[in-house]
Amino acid sequence: MEWYIIVIGVLAVLVIVLSLKLAIVRHDIIEFDSELKNTREESYNRMITLTLNDKSTERLAATINENISYQKELKLKEERSRKSLESSVSDIAHDLRTPLTVVKGNLQMLEKEDLSDAGTRYLDAALRKTDSLKDMVDTFFELSVLESDDVTVNLSKLDIVSFLAGFVVDNEAVIRGNNLTPIINLPEKSIFVKADKDMMNRVFSNLLNNILKYARDTFTLNVSESEGKCEIILSNPIANDDAIDTEHIFDRAYRADKARATGSAGLGLYIVKLLVNKQGGSITADVGDNILKFKLII
């Protein structure tokens, strides 16, 4: 019977040792999990720092730290590449602006010359294409600036009702010229928001350009205030709901009609969202019953 007691004793010791080992590993895993969460919350800008009792867990931590270092290196390379590309786009756009201005100036001088009917048609076409190209170059230059971290947002107290009323008046000629009848619903009292006036002007210029391209007969502008926020809804009839993808309408280079040769880079609504977000606001798009609706909250 002595050997039986010895076996039981050995087994009991093994159970105790394994239980302690399991407890240690469990403790290390809990600590490991906590460290991983801390590292994730800091966007993986820190290493896992632990004193572990299990060699296997230590090796796992070392491997994860190596991967974090590698990911940080890739992230830095990507950031440098992005900034380099932004700088290149900005430089190229800047370099193109001067010769395009000269070309346009020379074409405008030709308008004063005595040209044949065919020459006048060619000149008009050249001027239109030059204007289109200059607009695209200016847009790319603006975008490179907006996407950088150097852009300054000058928030100030702005009467959005007065601003929008003035915007509509300033653009009345182009609105009427496109055979659109606007429906404007502005409150009688002022609504003040914190916004950058120049940025807001660019926001509504781009939204108006979108309306001029795709609206049918009319568009509606509604402004209201609720719970300390201003809500601006700009809507217009469209030909077909299925032609608009609201999930991607603010993406880069999105076009509702890809077959249409608009002479545009398709960046207008992307810039709108960028500008609104930089001012702490939000903008969403919705479509239904052949109506495209933009809701801007400041």
Q: What architecture does CATH give domain 156-297?
A: 2-Layer Sandwich (3.30)
CA dihedral 164, 167, 172, 178 (to 10 degrees): -90
Q: Please give the pLDDT value at position 224.
A: 93
Confidence of residue 266 (pLDDT cuts 50, 70, 90): low
pTM exceeds cut of 0.75: no
pLDDT category at 260 given cuts 50, 70, 90 is: very low
If one counts every other C-beta atom within 10 angstroms of the C-beta of residue 80, the result is 10
**Average pLDDT, rounded, for the chain:** 81
Q: By C-alpha distance, which of 172, 197, 192, 194 is closest to 184?
A: 172
CA–CA separation, 128 vs 132, rounded Å? 6
Instruction: Give CA–CA dist 278/196, Å, rounded.
Output: 9
Which residue ranges make up each domain of the chain? 2-76, 92-146, 156-297
Mean pLDDT for 142-148 is 72
Q: Model confidence over 13-42: pLDDT tens digits?
A: 787 877 777 776 677 777 777 777 777 676
Q: How far apart are CA 87 and CA 85, in angstroms?
A: 5
Pull the structure tokens for residue 126. 């050249």
Q: What is the mean pLDDT of residues 281-297?
A: 91
Q: What 3-state DSSP class applies to 193?
A: strand
Question: How many of the other CB atoms lie within 10 Å of CB of 272?
Answer: 25
**Does 136 score more than 50 pLDDT?**
yes
pLDDT at residue 68 is higher than 70: yes
Q: Give the pLDDT mean for 96-121.
A: 82
Q: How far is CA 292 from CA 144, 256, 287, in A?
A: 28, 11, 5
Most confident of 26-40, 65-79, 227-241: 227-241
Quote the pLDDT of residue 261: 47
